[in-house]
Amino acid sequence: MSTARLRDLRVFPGFGLLSVGCVVFLYAPIVVLAIYSFNDGRSVTRWAGFSFRWYQTVFANQNIQTAAINSVVIAVIAATVATVFALGAAIATVNRKKGGGEGAYVVLTFPLMVPEIVTAVASLVFFVAVGISLGFATILIAHIVFCIPFAYLPIKARLESMDGTLPSAAADLYASPAKAFLRITLPLLVPGLVSGWLLAFIISLDDFIITALVAGPGATTLPLHIYGMLRLGMTPEVNAISTLMLAASTVLVLISGLLGQAGRKH
């Protein structure tokens, strides 16, 4: 009965139409991109028949493949290392109001608010000052650093919602701290770790600004390559890459959604 009354609240005249409009707005560029990736012609706006030719072009393009592999390798390493740091940070800061926990939280979440171009310039200045030559290594270091806050938040949230008495019970049953951590805390943290890792992975994979500044000559990632292609002129090849990336991120979202549901059931 109460839900029936609440329904009165939901259905305001015009709201439905407006929200459909919002959804169309959110999806319009994505759908258009995907459709024209199958265009037979060279135009990204004039339809000239259906074909897979641009996908063939993408798969035949050695540079795109190198860039894509670079991107994935960097994203996997950066997300993994960042998740390990974030796990340590989360364990060290959660429930530690006194011992600098609050301070660490502020330091860890501030980078999320800093404009990316400023972070990019700061990273570059740092690498130049320290004297590390720009390339694959600097991209990797920069990515690890900016991924830590993203990995940290879901892990922290999970740790905070965790039943704190369980590790305590393990300790009472004579589990050593290390054992209690490995067999109780860590398994319970898995959903947080997974979503933290995925978030860091996507953020790293998608990053353009910081990568562009610290890449130096030679090293390239997928976003850098796509940007180069956009500057040279738009062909449906960019649409095809974009659609492939779209498919990949959709799969990732679905995986994380499924894992999230599985986590909720436990």
Partner 1 sequence: MMRAQSTPVRRYAATGSLAMLWALPVILTLAYVLPFAGVTLWSVTRPELGLQNYVRIFTGADFQAIFFRTAWVCLVSTAITIPIAYLLAYYWVMGSGRRSRLVEICIFIPFWISVLVRAFGWVVILRNNGLASDVANAFGLGGLSTGRNVWSVITGMVHFMVPFAVLPMASVMRKIDRRVLLAALGLGCRPLGVFWRIYLPMSLPGVFSALAMTFIFSLGFFVTPMILGGGRVVLTAETVFVQMFQTANWGLGAALGVVLLVAVFAILWLSQRVMRIEQLMSR
CB neighbourhood size of 33 (10 A): 17
The count of other CB atoms within 10 Å of the CB of residue 212 is 16
- Packing angle of the helix pair 136-161, 116-130 (nearest 10 deg): 130
What is the length of the chain?
266
Question: What is the nearest approach in angstroms of partner 1 to the Cβ of residue 59?
Answer: 18
Which residue number, 113 or 232, has a Cβ lying nearer to partner 1?
113
Query: Within its chain, how far is the Cα of 12 from the centroid?
Result: 36
Task: Pick the closer one to partner 1 by CB: 185 or 220.
Answer: 185
CA-to-CA distance for 219 and 67, rounded, in angstroms? Answer: 8
Query: Which of 246, 244, 251 shows the shortest CA–CA distance to 55?
Result: 244
Q: How far is the CB of 233 from partner 1 (least distance, A)?
A: 12
Minimum separation from the CB atom of position 142 to partner 1 (A) = 9
The least CB distance from residue 90 to partner 1, in Å, is 9
Least Å distance, CB 52 to partner 1, is 19
CA 128 vs CA 75, 141, 211, 213: distances in Å = 23, 13, 15, 11
Measured N-to-C along each axis, helices 236-265 and 186-206 cross at an angle, to the nearest 10 degrees, of 170
Q: Cβ 54 to partner 1, closest distance in Å? A: 14
Q: What is the DSSP string of 162-182?
A: S-THHHHHHHHTT--HHHHII
Beta carbon nearer to partner 1, 51 or 109: 109
